[in-house]
Structure 1
Amino acid sequence: MKIGILKEHKDGEKRVAISPKIAGQLIAKGFKILIEEGAGEASSYKNSDYTEIGVTVEARGVVFKEATILIKINPFDEEDLKLIDSHHILMSQLFHISNTKLIEAIAAKGATAFSMDAMPRITRAQDMDVLSSQNNLAGYKAVIKGAYEMTKIFPLMMTAAGTITPSRVLIYGIGVAGLQAIATAKRLGAVVEATDIRMETKEQAESLGAKFITVDNSGEQESEGGYAKEASEDYVKRQKEAVNNSLFKADLVITTAMVPGRKSPVLITKEQVKQMKNGAVIIDLAAAQGGNCEISEMNKAVVKHGVKIFGTTIAPESVSTNASDLYAKNMYNFLIHLTNDECEFKWELEEEITDGTLIVKNGKIRKS
């Protein structure tokens, strides 16, 4: 079976879905690999890095024509759909809950589609979970970005001229990105606080050295399938009151809170920003879904009341080499799980991983 690796055309995207190393491992398993010319260049992978291990580099149209499995990171777009037909099996992050028109368009083509962001949060699927692997890097990069933009250093420092007190970091959302942000900020010497609607995250945050800001969440639905649920208005109000003291003292704030298929919850309002420290920095990793900060704008730096607010995405394009390799490892494990020794799909539709990720099968929508 032929796998086609497509070049990402989304603005700012630098990753590639399959790295040369993983392409070589797939070839060793019996797959044939084609890659769109230049697909890996932004991740520091040359065309020759692929051809040396047996991958065929082709023009975009040829990849669509000859490959059965088409792999991307971002959702397939209108230009992709023009080249898709019923023999294709698509694999990417489709975000199917909020991308209904895309799913309908794929179905209309008679194609089959797996959505990598729909991976079940179960132990067996951990090594296929692209959200976790990418969010881990995003949490790290958010701290590094914050350090660059701050006018202070992170650690306590004793100097002949006097003592420099450590910076204060506040993190909203203790998922994979939030935990990595805690760990990175602590390693750099910051005083770290964190908050989350899910009380089960308290122990995780504290194990990494963060102070957990407790908010009474009685009556709230904390999570479903490992993801936070949308909070009630009453909880949001009480969370703001509990967190305000830490927010107004923070030098760096990192927000990571997202609800699958919905707009990101607003956790920091314009009024709260007014009361933050002059020179504070907010890194809003949820900006692609509307943002956790009311002022955030996607891919823009906004300065309000002396606070720098960076709206960015959970996808770590700026560390594209590592991000591509981790995504590729997830895809390798997923492909091996779905296929037999002859590289043919098993189509075990009742199996939990297959059932959770298979959104469209031969033009029929299975999940919406």
Structure 2
Amino acid sequence: MAGITIGIASETATGERRVALTPETCKKLTARGARIRVQRGAGHGASFSDDAYAQAGAELADDAATALDGADLVLCVQPPPSTTLSGLREGTALVGLLAPQADAARGEAIAQRKLIAFPLERLPRTTRAQAMDVLSSQAGMAGYKAVLIAAQLAPRFFPMLTTAAGTIRPSKVLIVGAGVAGLQAIATAKRLGAQVEGFDVRPETREQIESLGGRFLDLGVSAAGEGGYARALTDEERAEQQRRLGEHLKSIDVIVCTAAVPGRPAPKIISAAMVAGMKPGSVIVDLAAETGGNCELTQPGETIDSGGVTVAGPLNLASQGAVHASEMYARNVLNFVNLFLDEKAVEAGALSFDWDDELLARTVWPERTINA
């Protein structure tokens, strides 16, 4: 990989502690001949020291501009500021959770500099792409952390306890949404000893929920969609779902919300009226807060009290488990960039993109047409 330079700058998003390159993945890339430049302190939030990167073969840069100067490939978790993108050389490949359409200035900077942008949230979720799926790896950490936050906020034990003062019943925990985050939340709540239920409008998730020791909450409304994702419910279906769910929530101690529809605001599942009907001391942790929340009362980044019910809307939960989240993310990224760091690229000293590979063609922004 002679001549190929990979740059990593410190993340600038508020509260972001993860890093896109760990000493482990740095060592694997430098072993192939890549030149790695890492901004000093880039890994500190995830407990990776500058010395660890240096020992893995990276060069340390004092600032972001130096780390990214002349880079052929830039790796990141969240998108760099538009001013940083505008400073990259034309044709630089950029890999991360970029959301180019969410910010006009960001999208314009990518287009003006003719960057080859790979927003990893666009990666097709196929069997072949599993080892590159950052959404799944980070959702697992988010689901785990959400339950720990719920346990901390709840004024109850999660497990059943038999004490000299009498028997304490286990908390009743409901996990809304049975994607990767929801399933991890179910497993975590079960390990903590709670009585766990899982709710998802996709009936095919029943087996997954039950395999983790949870009980599938069947409200008689199905929204099975294509590709394993939920479809939007009709008005009638939503009304019936809400009526049945509202009755059920009166006996629930803790709710962890994880439901999401790709590319759209999070579906509103828990109404203000449902919250009002819950027992005082109940807790809702809304992992979907970043896309608007599953609960009508969720305030992103805030924890509020509504009639004795605590509603928390934590943001960027994966970052709270920065060590393991970074390790998983960096391995996902390494597996993805291996698609264009093949032997031909090593010999030529340039990135090699096969646009007939659907993982590259469908992930790159704008998407490219695959030749028949």
Instruction: Give the TM-score normalised by structure 2.
Output: 0.92
Partner of residue 35 from structure 2, selected from 28, 32, 36: 32
Matched, 1:17 2:20: yes
Residue 31 and residue 232 in structure 1: after superposition, are their counterparts in 2 closer, same or farther (change >3 A)? farther
Distance in 1 (alpha carbons) for counterparts of 2:339 and 2:204: 30
Do 1:166 and 1:190's aligned partners in 2 also have CA atoms closer than 8 Å?
yes
- Per-residue CA distance 1:247-269 (angstroms, 9 max, x = gap): 22221111111122211111111
Distance in 2 (alpha carbons) for counterparts of 1:282 and 1:151: 12
Matched, 1:41 2:53: no
Q: Partner residue of 2:277?
A: 275
Do 1:76 and 1:92's aligned partners in 2 also have CA atoms closer than 8 Å?
no
Matched, 1:226 2:232: no
Q: Residue 286 of structure 1 aligns to a residue in which SS?
A: helix
Alignment of 1:68-87 (within 5 A): 68-87=72-91
Alignment of 1:1-368 (within 5 A): 1-58=4-61, 59-96=63-100, 98-99=102-103, 102-217=106-221, 220=223, 222-313=224-315, 315-341=317-343, 342-343=345-346, 344-360=350-366, 366=368
Residue 226 and residue 359 in structure 1: after superposition, are their counterparts in 2 closer, same or farther (change >3 A)? farther
Q: Which amino acid aligns with 1:191?
A: Q
Q: Which runs of 5+ in 1 are unaligned?
A: none
Farther off after superposition, 248-257 or 81-90: 81-90
Q: Which amino acid aligns with 2:176?
A: Y
CA shift for structure 1 position 119: 1.4
Q: Residue 338 of structure 1 aligns to a residue in which SS?
A: coil
- Per-residue CA distance 1:303-360 (angstroms, 9 max, x = gap): 1111111112354111101111110010111111232124443322121211221114
Distance in 2 (alpha carbons) for counterparts of 1:26 and 1:211: 45
CA shift for structure 1 position 145: 0.9
CA shift for structure 1 position 50: 0.5
- Per-residue CA distance 1:125-178 (angstroms, 9 max, x = gap): 111000100101111111111111111111111112210000010111100000
Q: Which amino acid aligns with 1:129?
A: D
Q: Which amino acid aligns with 1:22?
A: T
Residue 104 and residue 78 in structure 1: after superposition, are their counterparts in 2 closer, same or farther (change >3 A)? closer
Q: Residue 303 of structure 2 aligns to a residue in which SS?
A: strand
Do 2:174 and 2:254's aligned partners in 1 also have CA atoms closer than 8 Å?
yes
CA shift for structure 1 position 274: 0.8
Residue 130 and residue 41 in structure 1: after superposition, are their counterparts in 2 closer, same or farther (change >3 A)? same
Q: Which amino acid aligns with 2:273?
A: E
CA shift for structure 1 position 191: 0.8
Distance in 2 (alpha carbons) for counterparts of 1:211 and 1:345: 49
Farther off after superposition, 136-145 or 58-67: 58-67
CA shift for structure 1 position 84: 2.6
Distance in 2 (alpha carbons) for counterparts of 1:120 and 1:99: 22
Q: Which amino acid aligns with 1:95?
A: A
Do 2:266 and 2:294's aligned partners in 1 also have CA atoms closer than 8 Å?
yes
Percent of aligned pairs with the same amino acid: 39
Q: Residue 312 of structure 2 aligns to a residue in which SS?
A: strand
Distance in 2 (alpha carbons) for counterparts of 1:98 and 1:76: 13
Do 1:97 and 1:261's aligned partners in 2 also have CA atoms closer than 8 Å?
no
Farther off after superposition, 5-14 or 336-345: 336-345
Residue 130 and residue 315 in structure 1: after superposition, are their counterparts in 2 closer, same or farther (change >3 A)? farther
Distance in 1 (alpha carbons) for counterparts of 2:197 and 2:161: 20
- Count of residues paired in the alignment: 361
CA shift for structure 1 position 96: 4.4
Residue 145 and residue 315 in structure 1: after superposition, are their counterparts in 2 closer, same or farther (change >3 A)? closer
